[in-house]
Structure formats: structure tokens, C-alpha cells
Chain A
Amino acid sequence: MNYFINRVIYLLAVFVIAVSGIFVLVNNMPGDPAYGLAVSIAQQRNMQIEQALEIARSMMGIDPDESLLTRYGKFMSNLLKGNLGYSAFYNTSVNDIISKSLPWTIFVISLATLLSFVVGIFLGALAAQKRGTVIEWIISTVSSIIQAIPPFILAVLILFVFSVTLRLLPLGGAYPVDVEPSFSFEFIYKMFLHALGPMIATAIPQMASWTLAMRGNTSQVMEEDFIRFAEIRGLRDSVIAKKYIRNNAVLPLVASLAIGVGYMLGGHTLVESIFNYPGIGFYFGKAIAVRDFGLLTGLFTLIVIGVIAATFIADFVYSLIDPRVKLK
């Protein structure tokens, strides 16, 4: 129980410091947070930009003479209420944007994680058990090469090859413009099609690291005494491979699974931007481009919450499944 409380305090401290740091960072970016809104107001109402700026500021509740500290205070108190801020560019609350975009990101990330984990574990175990053969060499080398490709370059290549050249996949968006969102088969099919690009771009690098990690773990487990004892007892190779080798090798990887998800939230920015896929990462990129401080800070905070939560869950789940930790 003590450990639990300690952990919570620790994570809370990390959260507060991280978010505060982000707040300071973002607010030091050059540019006026009200600028984006001011431009559209100036155009709409045909007025000078200075006037528009004043209106924009009052609309957003920004006082240019406000000190950073006051703004910080407002932000934190909003945070406590669950309000992640306001987006100047989109003229709506950050929470609103999140509710529109988060489902898409989760959709892609969960599929990508599932795919990369399952296939990666399988390939990694295969590579370890077929040590020294051509199969192992192929798996290891291909995985290493994939790791050498920066993920955003991979995304660009996928876009280029599949969308531009082969015209297999759509060029962007979560679903085509001409189809109404519904539960029709056509819509769901198109939805998956559109998600395929970002999903593969996210899954492939992950798969490579799962494969290599699993290969390492499996090799280590295979040397253990209890494998030998299982052979001595006359257990069949297939049984040993599954219950004795695979189960023990996967265990530590499950912990990193949750943490990996946390990281994917952050790295997904470029992938979504490249595919024009309207998830969290896409809006993140947009926010940087248009200097939407509110949206930026809000999304950042969301991701930080996600990573911390993932870490926490990872610890918890791991303690449930590893008998060695469970009984401490």
C-alpha cells in the first residue's frame, strides 16, 4: 500500500513538472497566440489587423499584459476542472478537438500495436529457435534494416509507393469526402482502407523492435535449466516451445507493451501529418504550424497524461501476470 501511494505521488510530481515545463516552453514560442484568429476576423470583417487582434484577444480571454504566471495559474486551475484549454485557430475548446480526433488515433494505434506485437513475437521466437539458419538471418537482417529507416521516412515511402504510384490507398483523410459516416459496409471498408497507410507506417518499425527483442529473450530462455529438465522429462518439442520458452520470453515484453503505446502517441505526429489523417498528431502538427498555443499545450498535456497512465498500467499489469512479482 505504501508503495502504491509513493508511486502516485511520484507520478503526480512528474506530471506537474512536465506540464509546467511544456507550458513555459510553448509560451516562449515566437508568435502571437491570437494571430490566427485575428487574421480570419480581419478578413471576415474587413478591418485592420490591429483591431482584429484586440477583438481576437478579448474573444479568447487573453490579456497581453498578463504575466506568464497568471496565465499559468489559469491554465492549471482549468486543468483541475478537466478543461485542457482553448484552440484559437479552430475557435473551439481543446476538449472538443480531442473528442473528434482521439478516436481516430486510438483506432490506428491499437490496430498497429496488436499487429506489430503478435507478428513480432512470432517472428522473434522463430528466429531464436531457428538460430544459424537462413530464416533467422533474413528475419534479423530485415528487422535491423527496418530499424535503420526513420519512421517518418517510412511513412513518406509508403505514401509514395502505395498511394501515389500504385494508387492502392487513398491520399489522406480518415474517410473519403463523398461518403457519409455511417455503419454501412461501404463506410467501414473505406475507413479501414484510409487507416491502412498510417497503420502500416506505425506498425512496421514497432514490429522490427518486438522481433529483435523477442529473439533476444527467447535465446536467453532457451539456455535455462528448466528447458533442459523439460526435455529430460520427455516433453515434446512443441509443448516446450510454447509453454516453457515462449511464455517465459514474452513476459518482460508485455511490460514494455504499454510503454510502447505511450511513446507511439508522441511519435505519431509526423505519420498522421504525412497521411493527413485527422488524429491527435495531425492537430498537433497543425497547432505548431499556426502557433495555436492553447491547442498545443492542451494536446501536449493529453499525451503526457497518456504516457504516465500507460506506465502506471504497465507496472500494474506486469505485477499481475508475472508470478515472481505477484507474490512479493
Chain B
Amino acid sequence: MTKESLTNFYHDYIHPLFRNKKSLIGLIILLMYILMATVGASVVPLNMNSNFAERYQKPSLKHPFGTDYFGVDIFQQIVHGSRAVISLTLLASFLAVLIGTIVGVARGYLEGIAGKIIDVIIMVFLVIPSFPALLILSAIFMDKDLNVLQIALLVAIWLWAPLAKQISAQVLSIKTRDFIEASKILNMPLRYILFNDIVKLLIPYIFINFVMQIKGAMEFSVGLMFLGLAKFDPTHWGIMLNYALYQAGALYTTQGFHYLFFVILNIVLLIYGGILLSQGIEEIFNPRVRGNE
């Protein structure tokens, strides 16, 4: 890639992200958590030893988020858990977008019976209620220790379908547009038609979807952990949520509220960062959505 195309890329795609208020804040939030997951987890110590004397302490200088039922510092758990959360969520989102894009573009290109078959497959995944199906799927693997990739895949299976449907619709409509016909007339190879024309148009779309998948991936993965259906890193926020409600009974006493509060706060903040970023990207590439200029 030439230096000029790099600067163009920056100017067209990266710079606007910083200028738009929403995408900027969203980006900052996400980067903060990524930082937490990479640097923070290495810097902040994790002391998981139970210390009943200190349990359920309110937030203080010593314990910024307080302590949980076992006296373990909540802040430390959040920071370390962020590693599990971020890696699982981003991986699941990426896989969902990957599968969705491939299937969607393939459907857009295949006509006739093959196309209809893909349609049916996509529809099947849309029709089966995602979360319950995810629960069943993970119950099947419950006794096995799964790594990040496998869990991410389990989650991604129930996320790719809507994207595939939208992309296939887009590709089908773009296919009939004039300039692609022109490409064909000029006798350019299929590969050229495929990548250059269509993918270029879909890039902002896919990117927005990837960021929106963060919401879905988070909901599914946290939900899964919350229900105790997947063995995973105990500092994962979903598992913390599970402890908070089921083991420690934080629901029935107001003492443990800060425990619940901080876990939920971080979950919501992370998802919100994703939502803001995707709203910002949408505003950039679809000026009509913008507010006052």
C-alpha cells in the first residue's frame, strides 16, 4: 500500500471517527476497556483469597468498588474479568460478522435453487429463538472445558443470521446496478466484480454491524455465564453476576447492592460504548441521520 493510499484511508475512514462526538466517546469507552483488559490486568494484582473479615465493604480508597461476599476486592475482579469479557465478546462479534458476511455475499451471488437453499438456512436461524437455543447448545457442552474460541463460536452461531439476511439483500440490489453491468461488459474477471465493487460499498455497513454485534455478543455471553451454563474464567463479569445473585444472595439483602451495581455498571458501560460508536459511524456515512450541522 502506498503512502498516499494510507493517508487517504485515514482521512476518509479514521479521521471522521474522531470528529463525530458520538463515535469519539464510544471509541474512548471501548479503548478504555481494551486497555483495562490488556494493560490493566497485568498491572492490577488479583487476590482471590477469601477474607471474610472484609466482606461486603462499601467502596473506599482501599477497595474502589468495595468487596464481595467473600471479602475479595471487586475492582480487581472487574479489571481481570475484563480480559475474559473483551476477548470473548470481540471474538464472538468478529466470528458473527465473518460468517454473516460470507453467507450473505454468497447468497447475493448465487441465483436459483442454491440461493433459495441459503435463504432457508438463514431463515431457520432467524426463526429459532436465539437465546434459548444457545442455552441448549451450551448445556450440551457443559461438562467440557471450553476455550475462548469455542464459546465465541457457540455464541456467534446465533448472531450471524440477521447480518447475512441484510447483506444478501444489499448484494442482490447492488448486483443489478448499472456500473456492475458495465464491469461485466468490459469483461473484467469475476473476482474484480466481487471485491472491488461490492465490498467497497459494504464496508461501512459491515463495520457498523460489527460494533452493534458487541451488544448482542455481550448479552448472550454474559447471559450464558449468568446462568452458569459455561465453565469459564471466574472473573468474567457474567460469572460475577451469577455469584452475586445466586450464591451470595445479593438480591435479598441491600448490603450487597454495590456488588451488583458495579458489575452491572461495567457491563452496561461497555455495551453503551459500542452503541455510541455504531451510532456515530451511522451518522458519518449517512448524513441524513445527523442532527444540527
A and B, direct touch (CB closer than 8 Å): yes
Interface of A toward B, CB cutoff 8 Å:
10, 13-15, 17-18, 21-22, 25-26, 28-30, 131-132, 136, 144-145, 147-153, 156-157, 159-160, 164-165, 216, 219-220, 223, 263, 265-267, 269-270, 284, 288, 296, 300, 303-304, 307-308, 311
By Cβ-Cβ distance, the 4 closest A-B pairs, closest first, are A266-B129, A148-B272, A148-B271, A150-B219
Q: In the bound complex, do residue A304 and residue B128 qualify as a contact, i.e. CB atoms below 8 Å apart? A: yes
Q: In the bound complex, do residue A29 and residue B136 qualify as a contact, i.e. CB atoms below 8 Å apart? A: yes
Q: In the bound complex, do residue B143 and residue A266 qualify as a contact, i.e. CB atoms below 8 Å apart? A: no
CB contact list, B251-291 vs A, under 8 A? 251-252, 254, 257, 260, 264, 267-269, 271-272, 274-276, 279, 288-289, 291
**CB-contact partner of A165 in B218, B241, B254, B291, under 8 A:** B254
**CB-contact partner of A156 in B119, B218, B251, under 8 A:** B251
Q: In the bound complex, do residue B260 and residue A160 qualify as a contact, i.e. CB atoms below 8 Å apart? A: yes
A-chain residues with CB within 8 Å of residue B128 when the two chains form the complex: 18, 21-22, 300, 304
A-chain residues with CB within 8 Å of residue B59 when the two chains form the complex: none
A-chain residues with CB within 8 Å of residue B272 when the two chains form the complex: 144-145, 148
CB contact list, B122-136 vs A, under 8 A? 123-124, 126-133, 135-136
B-chain residues with CB within 8 Å of residue A14 when the two chains form the complex: 120, 123-124, 127
Q: In the bound complex, do residue A18 and residue B289 qualify as a contact, i.e. CB atoms below 8 Å apart? A: no
Q: In the bound complex, do residue B143 and residue A30 qualify as a contact, i.e. CB atoms below 8 Å apart? A: yes
Q: In the bound complex, do residue B129 and residue A25 qualify as a contact, i.e. CB atoms below 8 Å apart? A: no
Residue of A nearest to B220 (CB): A150
Q: In the bound complex, do residue B292 and residue A132 qualify as a contact, i.e. CB atoms below 8 Å apart? A: yes
**Chain A CB within 8 A of B139 CB:** yes
A151 to B264, CA, bound (A): 12
Q: In the bound complex, do residue A21 and residue B124 qualify as a contact, i.e. CB atoms below 8 Å apart? A: yes
**Chain A CB within 8 A of B30 CB:** no
Q: In the bound complex, do residue B276 and residue A144 qualify as a contact, i.e. CB atoms below 8 Å apart? A: yes
Residue of B nearest to A265 (CB): B129
A243 to B273, CA, bound (A): 37
A153 to B238, CA, bound (A): 10
B-chain residues with CB within 8 Å of residue A300 when the two chains form the complex: 128-129, 132-133
**CB-contact partner of B292 in A26, A131, A147, A164, under 8 A:** A131
Known contacts A160-B251, A219-B288; is-contact A148 B268 (Cβ 8 Å): yes
B-chain residues with CB within 8 Å of residue A144 when the two chains form the complex: 272, 275-276, 279
Q: In the bound complex, do residue B124 and residue A270 qualify as a contact, i.e. CB atoms below 8 Å apart? A: no
B-chain residues with CB within 8 Å of residue A156 when the two chains form the complex: 245, 251, 260
**Chain A CB within 8 A of B140 CB:** yes
Q: In the bound complex, do residue A150 and residue B136 qualify as a contact, i.e. CB atoms below 8 Å apart? A: no
A308 to B127, CA, bound (A): 7
A-chain residues with CB within 8 Å of residue B268 when the two chains form the complex: 145, 148-149, 153
> Could you list 10 examples of A-B contacts with CB < 8 Å?
A22-B136, A25-B137, A29-B139, A147-B215, A148-B269, A149-B268, A152-B223, A153-B241, A164-B254, A304-B128
A-chain residues with CB within 8 Å of residue B252 when the two chains form the complex: 164
A148 to B218, CA, bound (A): 10
A149 to B121, CA, bound (A): 30
**CB-contact partner of B291 in A132, A269, A304, under 8 A:** A132
A151 to B271, CA, bound (A): 12
A164 to B255, CA, bound (A): 12
Q: Count how many pairs of residues, one from A and one from B, have CB atoms less than 8 Å apart in the complex.
A: 123
Q: Which of A17, A159, A265, A311 has the most CB of B within 10 A?
A: A17
A-chain residues with CB within 8 Å of residue B226 when the two chains form the complex: 152
A150 to B126, CA, bound (A): 20
A-chain residues with CB within 8 Å of residue B143 when the two chains form the complex: 30
Q: In the bound complex, do residue A18 and residue B136 qualify as a contact, i.e. CB atoms below 8 Å apart? A: no
**CB-contact partner of A18 in B124, B219, B222, under 8 A:** B124
B-chain residues with CB within 8 Å of residue A164 when the two chains form the complex: 251-252, 254
Q: In the bound complex, do residue B260 and residue A263 qualify as a contact, i.e. CB atoms below 8 Å apart? A: no
B-chain residues with CB within 8 Å of residue A159 when the two chains form the complex: 251
B-chain residues with CB within 8 Å of residue A150 when the two chains form the complex: 218-219, 222-223, 267, 271
A-chain residues with CB within 8 Å of residue B140 when the two chains form the complex: 25, 28-30
**Chain A CB within 8 A of B142 CB:** yes
Instruction: Give chain A nearest CB distance to B112 CB in angstroms.
Output: 14
Instruction: Give chain A nearest CB distance to B150 CB in angstroms.
Output: 16
Q: In the bound complex, do residue A267 and residue B136 qualify as a contact, i.e. CB atoms below 8 Å apart? A: no
Q: Which of B126, B142, B289, B292 has the most CB of A within 10 A?
A: B126
Known contacts A144-B276, A269-B131, A307-B129; is-contact A30 B291 (Cβ 8 Å): no
A17 to B122, CA, bound (A): 11
Residue of B nearest to A150 (CB): B219
B-chain residues with CB within 8 Å of residue A296 when the two chains form the complex: 136
Q: In the bound complex, do residue B135 and residue A288 qualify as a contact, i.e. CB atoms below 8 Å apart? A: yes
B-chain residues with CB within 8 Å of residue A29 when the two chains form the complex: 136, 139-140
4 more CB-based (< 8 A) A-B contacts, given A28-B140, A263-B129: A22-B136, A267-B131, A288-B136, A303-B129
B-chain residues with CB within 8 Å of residue A152 when the two chains form the complex: 223, 226
Mask, B195-217, CB within 8 Å of A = 1, is 00000000000000000000100
A216 to B282, CA, bound (A): 11
Q: In the bound complex, do residue A266 and residue B279 qualify as a contact, i.e. CB atoms below 8 Å apart? A: no
Instruction: Give chain B nearest CB distance to A253 CB in angstroms.
Output: 16
A300 to B135, CA, bound (A): 12
CB contact list, B218-245 vs A, under 8 A? 218-219, 222-223, 226, 241, 245
B-chain residues with CB within 8 Å of residue A160 when the two chains form the complex: 251, 257, 260
